[in-house]
Structure 1
Amino acid sequence: MEISENEFRDFLFDNHSENLSSIIVGRRDPISWSNGSFPPIHILLQQSAEKKINEALDNLEDMILTARELRLEREADSTTRIDLVGNSESCGLTIIELKKSKQTERQAFSELLAYANHFCTIFPGLKESSLTSILVAPMETRTVRDAYAQELVSNNKCIVALIPEHKNSTAKLTVYYPDSSYYKWFENNLLDDRSMITVAIAFPEIKGWIDLERDQSGMPEHSAKALNTITSSISKTLEACGYHSMCYSTQPWAEVTLGYDFPFPNVIYVAAVNPFSSFRTAINNDEIYGSSKDGRLAEIQAVHDQLSETEREFWIETIEGNFHNRLIRIVRKEFEKLLKNKKQEKIRYEISLPDWYGLKTSMIDSVTVHHGELYLTGLLREIHSEYIEYIYRPDVKYAIYYSDDFPKYFYNTLRSFLPIWEILSGLGVGDTDDEDE
Structure 2
Amino acid sequence: MDISENEFRDFLFNNHRENFSTIIVGRREPIDWPDENFPPLHILLQQRSERKINEALDNLEGMVLGASELRLTRESDSTTRIDLVGNSESSGLTIIELKKSKQTERQAFSELLAYSNHFCTVFPGLKESSLTSILVAPMETRTTRDAYAQELVSNNKCILALVPKYENGKAQLSVYYPDATYYKWFENNLLDDRSIITVALAFQEIKGWIDLETGQEGVPAHSVKALNILTSSISNMLEANGYHSMCYSTQPWGEIASGLNLPFPNVIYVAAVNPFSSFRTAITEEGISGNSQAGRIAEVQAVHDQLSESEQEFWIETIEGNFHNRLIRLVRKEFEKLLKNKNNEKIRFEISLPDWYGLKTSFIDSVTVNHGDIYLTGLLREIHSEYMEYAYKPGVDYALYYSDDIPKYFYRSLRVFLPIWEILSGLGVGKEEQE
TM-score (normalizing by structure 2): 0.94
- CA–CA distance in 2 between the matches of 1:91 and 1:166? 25
Aligned counterpart, 2:206? 206
Aligned counterpart, 1:267? 267
Instruction: Kindly indicate whether the alpha-carbon contact (under 8 Å) linking 1:201 and 1:268 is maintained by their aligned counterparts in 2.
Output: yes
Tell me whether 151-160 or 292-301 shows the greater mean CA deviation: 292-301
Instruction: Kindly indicate whether the alpha-carbon contact (under 8 Å) linking 1:228 and 1:373 is maintained by their aligned counterparts in 2.
Output: yes
Match for 2:88: what amino acid?
Answer: S
Instruction: Kindly indicate whether the alpha-carbon contact (under 8 Å) linking 2:401 and 2:423 is maintained by their aligned counterparts in 1.
Output: no
Aligned counterpart, 2:69? 69
Match for 1:84: what amino acid?
Answer: L
Distance 1:71 1:285, change over 3 A: farther
Tell me whether 165-174 or 371-380 shows the greater mean CA deviation: 165-174
- CA–CA distance in 1 between the matches of 2:256 and 2:195? 31
How many residues get paired? 433
Distance 1:313 1:35, change over 3 A: closer
- CA–CA distance in 1 between the matches of 2:51 and 2:397? 22
Distance 1:334 1:397, change over 3 A: same
Does residue 1:179 correspond to 2:179, yes or no?
A: yes
- CA–CA distance in 2 between the matches of 1:286 and 1:14? 61
- CA–CA distance in 2 between the matches of 1:147 and 1:106? 9
Instruction: Kindly indicate whether the alpha-carbon contact (under 8 Å) linking 1:250 and 1:370 is maintained by their aligned counterparts in 2.
Output: yes
Match for 1:281: what amino acid?
Answer: T
Report how far residue 189 of structure 1 moved.
Answer: 5.9
Distance 1:399 1:79, change over 3 A: closer
Tell me, which stretches of 5 or more residues in structure 2 are unaligned? none
Distance 1:398 1:79, change over 3 A: closer
- CA–CA distance in 2 between the matches of 1:248 and 1:136? 43
Distance 1:216 1:199, change over 3 A: same
Does residue 1:32 correspond to 2:32, yes or no?
A: yes
Aligned counterpart, 1:119? 119
Report how far residue 425 of structure 1 moved.
Answer: 1.9
2:347 partner SS: coil
- CA–CA distance in 1 between the matches of 2:416 and 2:294? 40
Instruction: Kindly indicate whether the alpha-carbon contact (under 8 Å) linking 2:42 and 2:187 is maintained by their aligned counterparts in 1.
Output: yes
2:173 partner SS: strand
Does residue 1:253 correspond to 2:253, yes or no?
A: yes
Match for 1:61: what amino acid?
Answer: E
Tell me, which stretches of 5 or more residues in structure 1 are unaligned? none
Report 1:217-256 matches (<5 A): 217-256=217-256
Q: For residues 223-272 of structure 1, what are the alpha-carbon distances to aligned partners after superposition, in whole Å with 9 as ceiling and x for unaligned?
A: 11110010001001111111111100011123433532222111100011
Report how far residue 322 of structure 1 moved.
Answer: 1.2
Distance 1:93 1:399, change over 3 A: closer
- CA–CA distance in 1 between the matches of 2:301 and 2:120? 36
2:27 partner SS: coil
Instruction: Kindly indicate whether the alpha-carbon contact (under 8 Å) linking 2:199 and 2:270 is maintained by their aligned counterparts in 1.
Output: yes
Aligned counterpart, 1:371? 371
Report how far residue 315 of structure 1 moved.
Answer: 2.3
Instruction: Kindly indicate whether the alpha-carbon contact (under 8 Å) linking 2:37 and 2:398 is maintained by their aligned counterparts in 1.
Output: no
- CA–CA distance in 1 between the matches of 2:65 and 2:37? 45
- CA–CA distance in 1 between the matches of 2:298 and 2:183? 20
Instruction: Kindly indicate whether the alpha-carbon contact (under 8 Å) linking 1:132 and 1:159 is maintained by their aligned counterparts in 2.
Output: yes
- CA–CA distance in 1 between the matches of 2:104 and 2:270? 42
TM-score (normalizing by structure 1): 0.93
Report how far residue 295 of structure 1 moved.
Answer: 3.6
1:394 partner SS: coil
Report how far residue 353 of structure 1 moved.
Answer: 0.6
Aligned counterpart, 1:339? 339
- CA–CA distance in 1 between the matches of 2:301 and 2:425? 33
Does residue 1:88 correspond to 2:50, yes or no?
A: no
Report how far residue 133 of structure 1 moved.
Answer: 0.6
Report how far residue 399 of structure 1 moved.
Answer: 5.6
Report how far residue 430 of structure 1 moved.
Answer: 4.5
- CA–CA distance in 2 between the matches of 1:188 and 1:35? 17
Instruction: Kindly indicate whether the alpha-carbon contact (under 8 Å) linking 2:374 and 2:415 is maintained by their aligned counterparts in 1.
Output: yes
Aligned-pair identity (%)? 79
Aligned counterpart, 1:409? 409
Match for 1:200: what amino acid?
Answer: A
- CA–CA distance in 2 between the matches of 1:154 and 1:93? 22
Tell me whether 11-20 or 68-77 shows the greater mean CA deviation: 68-77
Report how far residue 398 of structure 1 moved.
Answer: 7.1
Aligned counterpart, 2:135? 135
Q: For residues 301-347 of structure 1, what are the alpha-carbon distances to aligned partners after superposition, in whole Å with 9 as ceiling and x for unaligned?
A: 44334444433332222221111111101100111111122221111
2:148 partner SS: helix
Does residue 1:383 correspond to 2:395, yes or no?
A: no
Q: For residues 115-158 of structure 1, what are the alpha-carbon distances to aligned partners after superposition, in whole Å with 9 as ceiling and x for unaligned?
A: 11122222222211111011111222211111111100101110
Instruction: Kindly indicate whether the alpha-carbon contact (under 8 Å) linking 2:189 and 2:428 is maintained by their aligned counterparts in 1.
Output: no
Match for 2:132: what amino acid?
Answer: T
- CA–CA distance in 1 between the matches of 2:30 and 2:252? 44
Report how far residue 432 of structure 1 moved.
Answer: 6.4
- CA–CA distance in 2 between the matches of 1:246 and 1:411? 17
